[in-house]
């Protein structure tokens, strides 16, 4: 008898368990989350996401280092402002990774293979939006956590007050405030992640050609933020601060910052946010509308692709 | 119990009628769906998967109604699309494992079934390499494997021999025949080539312009005709002359003679003619109809 021979034992039917919808959605979610960081894909797919994640971490680590050396409490970057400060890196992550999630399976016509199985378009879409939002949340929340842990380790709350050149006194924030601000910033990160993921995925899903999606996401981000900055600049020059505030709703980062400032009590990172008691609720409603609209549009887009 | 049954099924896209009042019932086995490009084959499959609601009429797959029980149908069937549908940057193993999980197979079972299925369709070491480097034949095998990985009761194979060379075509057809016989999975396979389905199907449905042209067992398509094929080593024309003189209707076709069977005596006349000429008789058989004749 030959050792190591392969014996064809013929076809066997599968008698085992078949799991339901929850398992399928969970598998899809994990699959897409891994894909967002290039896991389970060739090495070159991992370069961009990990490079950008490292770039996101650097300023946070630097800020903690400066805090530890100078012992000046105001050197630490404000938690809720981190996403806005780093928005260019975040936008590049959106542009390079949203096409991986939204347009790769459209481009290679893989979608019909899902919908001929017990997968329905809404589940498919929710798994993708959820996975990409989670990937973004990790990108944003990890450096904010580094700042917070840095503040705890260096006892930033016990640092001596600092008298600024203009006579203002920068006092150390009490520990309780650090915790509150950190948790508020995490909520802000969730909102940033959901809104930015929704917008980027829709753009990528309608530009399935390779490279084109990357350019489209960057273009929408750049054009919207630049236009808003111009309008805000003109409005402020004419002392029309109300218009400057409302204009902020039309740039994604500014929109979420408005919710952070008006509803979560954060310090303003954008140029201007909508004023008055309605500013916060309107911004939040707009965020919710964007995410819900994106899910609906993506679901229709994928359903159509499933029939091609 | 029929595995596929449709009743007055009609599908219109705007002004274009893809399926027109189609009623058919198909028993388990390997079933061919034949029609020219644009005859409505792919549309019929999408309706049967419960993905496309028909304009009017009913359809049932495995006794499940396509209108209300689409999800149950899709748990029990497999589907191999006509077009290329494979991402180039993952391996066949990764893709098939993932798609097995999309059918609800737990992680370990998904890996085992993917490995087994890829082996059954004839992909071995290459299954660990990215699909981007595969030949058309290998890609078709991966597409077939993903349709079979969850052990369906029925698979829809849309033009599985498309783009294959003659040898690849033969291999794919043999594989499909094995799926129907050894694996015990019913198959609905489409093609615009009648000849290839004749070889592997138990039953053939012919549609043209969305209408049913014919639906019957392959045996009845290819039933014996009243014509004998006679092939001799040499002296074909001399034999033909002789038989014609004896009163038989003879005509040459290629290297053979076709002789209409008048009665039992026809065989004797041919035998005697061959013996008297002293030539070698290679073939003497009743000709069968070819499925293509349906279209003549």
DSSP string, A126-179: HHHHHHHHHHHHHHHHHHHHHHHHHHHHTTGGGSPPEE-TTS-EEPPPPHHHHH
Indicate which CATH number applies to the domain containing B54.
3.40.50.300
Alpha carbon A195 to its chain's center: 7
pLDDT digits (tens, 9 = 90+) for B177-214: 999 999 999 999 999 888 888 889 999 999 988 899 88
What's the gap in Å between the CA of B50 and the closest CA on chain A? 9
Q: DSSP character for B132?
A: G
Note whether B79 contacts A: Cβ–Cβ < 8 A: yes
> Does one domain contain both B39 and B121?
yes
Q: How far apart are the first and last CA of chain A?
A: 52
For the stretch B169-176, contacts whose Cβ atoms lie closer than 8 Å and that sit 24 or more positions apart, written own/partner, are B169/B196, B171/B122, B171/B137, B172/B137, B172/B140, B172/B141, B172/B144, B173/B199, B173/B200, B174/B200, B175/B121, B175/B122, B175/B141, B175/B144, B176/B30, B176/B144, B176/B200
> Does one domain contain both B214 and B231?
no
Give rounded-to-5 percent helix, strand, coil for chain B: 40, 30, 30
Note whether B16 contacts A: Cβ–Cβ < 8 A: no
pLDDT digits (tens, 9 = 90+) for B239-275: 888 888 888 888 888 788 888 887 888 888 888 888 8
Range of the domain at B245: 224-295
Question: Tens of pLDDT along chain A (308 residues)?
Answer: 445 555 566 899 999 999 999 999 999 999 999 999 999 888 899 999 999 999 999 999 999 999 999 988 888 999 999 999 999 999 999 999 999 999 999 999 999 999 999 999 999 999 999 999 999 999 999 999 999 999 999 998 888 887 777 877 778 889 999 999 999 999 999 999 999 999 999 999 999 887 899 999 999 999 999 999 999 999 999 999 999 999 999 999 999 999 999 999 899 998 899 998 899 999 999 999 999 999 999 999 999 999 87
**pLDDT number for residue B209:** 86
Chain B hits for A27, CB-CB cut-off 8 Å, are 98, 101-102
Q: Which of A307, A268, A298 is nearest to A131 (CA)?
A: A298
Under an 8 A CB cutoff, do B90 and A41 touch? yes
pLDDT digits (tens, 9 = 90+) for B134-177: 999 999 999 999 999 999 999 999 999 999 999 999 999 999 99
Number of domains in chain B: 2
> Does one domain contain both B257 and B288?
yes
Under an 8 A CB cutoff, do A13 and B113 touch? no
Under an 8 A CB cutoff, do A20 and B104 touch? yes
> Does one domain contain both B197 and B248?
no
Under an 8 A CB cutoff, do B74 and A16 touch? no
> Does one domain contain both B91 and B15?
yes
**pLDDT number for residue A286:** 97
**pLDDT number for residue A30:** 97
* Of residues A148 and B292, more confidently modeled: A148
> Does one domain contain both B23 and B110?
yes
The residue among B221, B249, B278 that closes a domain is: B221
Question: Which candidate from A31, A104, A113 shows the least CB-CB separation from B146?
Answer: A113
* Of residues B221 and A306, more confidently modeled: A306
What's the gap in Å between the CA of B159 and the closest CA on chain A? 15
> Does one domain contain both B69 and B137?
yes
Note whether B94 contacts A: Cβ–Cβ < 8 A: yes
Domain ranges of chain A: 21-306
Q: Which residue of A has its CA nearest to B118?
A: A11
β-pair partners for B260: B227
> Does one domain contain both B200 and B287?
no
Note whether B115 contacts A: Cβ–Cβ < 8 A: no
> Does one domain contain both B187 and B252?
no
> Does one domain contain both B112 and B255?
no
Under an 8 A CB cutoff, do A28 and B102 touch? yes
Chain A hits for B81, CB-CB cut-off 8 Å, are 109, 112-113, 116
Which A-chain residues 68-107 have CB contacts (< 8 A) with chain B? Answer: 104-105
**pLDDT number for residue A46:** 95
> Does one domain contain both B239 and B185?
no
Find out whether B259 and B266 touch, Cβ atoms under 8 Å: yes
Q: What percent of chain B has pLDDT over 70?
A: 95
> Does one domain contain both B258 and B207?
no
ipTM given for this complex = 0.89
Averaged confidence pLDDT in chain B: 90
**pLDDT number for residue A161:** 82
């Amino acid at each position: 008898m030959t050792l190591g021979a392969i014996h064809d034992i013929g076809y066997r039917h599968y008698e085992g368990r078949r799991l339901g919808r929850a398992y399928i959605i969970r598998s899809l979610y994990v699959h897409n989350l891994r894909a967002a960081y290039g896991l389970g894909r060739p090495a070159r797919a991992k370069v961009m996401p990990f490079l950008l994640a490292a770039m996101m971490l650097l300023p946070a680590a630097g800020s903690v280092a400066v805090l530890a050396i100078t012992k000046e409490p105001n050197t630490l970057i404000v938690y809720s402002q981190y996403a806005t400060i780093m928005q260019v890196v975040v936008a590049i992550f959106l542009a390079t990774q949203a096409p991986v999630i939204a347009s790769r399976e459209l481009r290679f016509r893989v979608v019909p293979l899902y919908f001929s199985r017990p997968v329905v378009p809404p589940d498919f879409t929710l798994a993708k939006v959820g996975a990409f939002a989670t990937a973004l949340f990790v990108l944003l929340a990890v450096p904010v956590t580094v700042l917070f842990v840095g503040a705890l380790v260096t006892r930033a709350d016990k640092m001596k007050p600092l008298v600024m050149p203009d006579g203002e006194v920068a006092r150390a924030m009490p520990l309780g405030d650090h915790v509150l601000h950190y948790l508020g910033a995490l909520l802000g990160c969730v909102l940033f992640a959901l809104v930015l993921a929704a917008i980027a995925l829709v753009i990528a899903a309608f530009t399935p050609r390779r490279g084109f999606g990357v350019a489209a996401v960057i273009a929408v981000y750049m054009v919207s933020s630049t236009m808003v900055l111009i309008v805000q600049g003109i409005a402020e020059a004419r002392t029309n601060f109300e218009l400057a505030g409302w204009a902020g709703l039309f740039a994604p980062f500014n929109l979420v910052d408005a919710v952070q400032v008006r509803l979560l009590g954060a310090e303003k990172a954008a140029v201007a946010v909508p004023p008055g008691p309605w500013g916060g609720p309107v911004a939040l409603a707009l965020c919710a509308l964007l995410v819900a609209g994106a899910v609906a549009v993506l679901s229709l887009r994928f359903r159509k692709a499933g029939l091609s | 119990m029929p595995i596929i049954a449709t009743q007055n099924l009609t599908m219109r896209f705007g002004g274009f009628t893809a399926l027109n009042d189609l009623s058919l019932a198909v028993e388990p086995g390997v079933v061919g769906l034949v029609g020219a490009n644009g005859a409505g084959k792919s549309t019929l499959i999408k309706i049967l998967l419960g993905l496309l609601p028909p304009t009017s009429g009913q359809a049932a797959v495995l006794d499940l109604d396509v209108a209300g029980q689409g999800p149950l149908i899709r748990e029990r069937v497999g589907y191999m699309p006509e077009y290329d549908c494979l991402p180039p940057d993952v391996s066949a193993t990764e893709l098939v494992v993932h798609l097995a999980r999309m059918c609800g197979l737990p992680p370990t079972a998904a890996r085992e079934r993917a490995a087994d299925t890829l082996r059954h369709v004839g992909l071995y070491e290459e299954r660990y390499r990215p699909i981007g480097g595969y030949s058309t034949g290998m890609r078709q095998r991966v597409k077939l494997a993903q349709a079979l990985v969850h052990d369906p009761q029925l698979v829809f194979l849309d033009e599985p021999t498309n783009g294959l060379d003659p040898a690849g075509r033969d291999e794919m057809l043999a594989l499909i025949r094995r799926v129907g016989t050894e694996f015990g999975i019913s198959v609905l396979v489409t093609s615009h080539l009648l000849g290839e389905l004749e070889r592997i199907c138990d039953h053939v449905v012919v549609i043209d312009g969305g209408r049913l042209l014919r639906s019957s067992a392959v045996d009845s398509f290819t039933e014996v005709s009243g014509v004998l094929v006679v092939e001799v080593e040499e002296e074909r024309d001399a034999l033909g002359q002789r038989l014609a003189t004896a009163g038989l209707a003879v005509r040459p076709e290629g290297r053979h003679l076709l002789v209409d069977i008048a009665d039992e005596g026809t065989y004797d006349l041919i035998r005697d003619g061959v013996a008297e000429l002293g030539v070698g008789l290679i073939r003497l058989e009743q000709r069968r109809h070819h499925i293509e004749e349906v279209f003549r």
